[in-house]
Amino acid sequence: MTEIIYADNAATTKLDLEAYEAMKPFLLNDYSNPSQPYSFSRRAKKAMKEAREIIAECINAEPDEICFTSGGTESDNWAIKGCAFSLGNKKNIVTSNIEHHAVIRSCEFLKTFGYRTIYLKANKNGIILPETLNNEISENTGIVSVMLANNEIGTIQPIKELAKIAHKKGALFHTDAVQAMGHIPIDVKNLDVDLLSASAHKFNGPKGIGFLYVKNGSKLLSYINGGMQENGLRAGTENIASIVGMAYALKRNVEELTKNINYIRELDTEMVTQLKKANIDFIRNGIEPHLPGNISLSFKGISGEMLLHRLDLMGIMVSTGSACDSTKTQISHVLKAINIHQDYIEGTIRISLSKENTMEDVNCIVSGLTKIILQSDKKSKNYSKYHLAKNMLLP
């Protein structure tokens, strides 16, 4: 395979090599079902227990508060639907207009069952202000769900303040931490959230595995019914190898968090500085606090789709909206929500850098972008010159 520059780490990340090595024995030799009582299952059972402890320690939770799931989408669905169905008459849900579709569509699904959702409006910087929640929450609110960090523009929300407001009204608080986990420090006790979703493939773990943190004592209905796995809350034979890989990857990322944040911030700053120097007309979406390396840029009078494909031809992978929307040319709900100026909105791309990227990658991305944008500028100027000349010949 030819070398590529992968700058779409918010869509997914590269599997950590040591996490992969740690997974192997559970795919090949220790393949037993951990629910079985015989000795052959001991290693799998022990590995799962240790993985739960490692993950709990990474976010300052208790091991029995970690429930393994198939990823971020399942965790979000379970948190929203599982809470809603266990909360009796409290049929109002409060979320935001910049959530991932896993949250938004779970809320829409609940409409059929008589639930009502209020969507808090993010401000133009992509932040859900605590006073916005204060104005919309009521005694009928059962659950409030606001993401920790946005996948498209990287803004980090004031979760601690939002959770405090939710609790004051007697509502549960869920946060989708899929983009934030392994990239910024997360302490569930300090944030005081009741539920938190995470997905391994966003922090160098394998795909198809994640977890839902459920604070002890929280009301949550079982979502997948069957056997007694995960304390009877989530049935199904556990994906041991992936659980082990997830714990390993999270531990590695958390141990190297400060180093990675500083390094990625350097790349982030350099990219934006170089683009500014190149005299290109663009805006960066979202403000600090910000996920390091999540760079959403809107270029004036350019098509984001065109940028994505031209960069792809140069071997550079970026995204236009969130990955699950990349087959559609529609402008994403997040970009609409933050009211990007008409002249810029269609020219939006997301570059998401990771610890795997280098300064050389940054230089290549900037030079690729500059080339494409200046060429397309020239073309549109030639086009208008041609039209001007043609029009002058007219009577």
For the annotated catalytic residues, the residue numbers are 324
Q: Which is nearer to ligand PLP, 302 or 349 (CB)?
A: 349
Q: Are strands 195-199 and 210-214 parallel, antiparallel or unpaired?
A: antiparallel
Which of 268, 358, 305 is closest to 3 using CA atoms? 358
Q: Which is nearer to ligand PLP, 141 or 155 (CB)?
A: 155
Q: Which is nearer to ligand PLP, 76 or 238 (CB)?
A: 76
For residue 67, the one-letter residue type is C
Q: Compute the distance between CA of residue 15 and CA of residue 254 in angstroms, rounded to an integer.
A: 15
Q: Is 151 in the site for ligand PLP (CB under 6 A)?
A: yes
Structure tokens at 38: 């015989």
One residue of 16, 30, 65, 176 binding ligand PLP per CB under 6 A: 176
Q: Is 146 in the site for ligand PLP (CB under 6 A)?
A: no
Q: Which is nearer to ligand PLP, 322 or 348 (CB)?
A: 322
Q: Is 102 in the site for ligand PLP (CB under 6 A)?
A: yes
**Shortest distance in whole angstroms from residue 348 CB to ligand PLP:** 16
Diameter over CA atoms, the chain:
94
User: Contact region for ligand PLP (CB under 6 A) — 38-46, 69-77, 159-167, 311-319?
Assistant: 69-77
Q: Compute the distance between CA of residue 383 and CA of residue 390 in angstroms, rounded to an integer.
A: 11
User: Contact region for ligand PLP (CB under 6 A) — 66-74, 104-112, 121-129, 188-196?
Assistant: 66-74
Q: Compute the distance between CA of residue 298 and CA of residue 123 in angstroms, rounded to an integer.
A: 17
Which neighbouring-strand residues pair with 197? 176, 212
Q: Is 100 in the site for ligand PLP (CB under 6 A)?
A: yes
Q: Is 72 in the site for ligand PLP (CB under 6 A)?
A: yes
Q: Which is nearer to ligand PLP, 12 or 41 (CB)?
A: 12
Q: Is 290 in the site for ligand PLP (CB under 6 A)?
A: no
# chain residues binding ligand PLP, by CB under 6 A: 15
3-state helix, strand, coil in the chain (%, to 5): 45, 15, 40
Question: What contacts 69, CB < 8 A, 6 or more positions away?
Answer: 75, 78, 209, 210, 211, 212, 234
Q: Is 107 in the site for ligand PLP (CB under 6 A)?
A: no
**Shortest distance in whole angstroms from residue 364 CB to ligand PLP:** 25
**Shortest distance in whole angstroms from residue 35 CB to ligand PLP:** 25
User: Contact region for ligand PLP (CB under 6 A) — 46-54, 71-79, 227-235, 345-353?
Assistant: 71-79
Q: Is 210 in the site for ligand PLP (CB under 6 A)?
A: yes
For residue 382, the one-letter residue type is N
Q: Which is nearer to ligand PLP, 82 or 210 (CB)?
A: 210
Q: Is 346 in the site for ligand PLP (CB under 6 A)?
A: no
Q: Which helix (H) or strand (E) holds 144?
A: strand 141-145
Q: Which is nearer to ligand PLP, 102 or 365 (CB)?
A: 102
DSSP for 254-322, please give it.
HHTHHHHHHHHHHHHHHHHHHHHHTT--EEE-S-SSB-TTEEEEEETT--HHHHHHHHHHTTEE-BSS-
Q: Is 145 in the site for ligand PLP (CB under 6 A)?
A: no
**Shortest distance in whole angstroms from residue 391 CB to ligand PLP:** 48
**Nearest 5°: CA angle at 4, between 3 and 9?**
140
Task: Give me the residues that bind ligand PLP (CB under 6 A), please.
Answer: 71-73, 76, 100, 102, 147, 151, 176, 178-179, 199, 210, 322-323
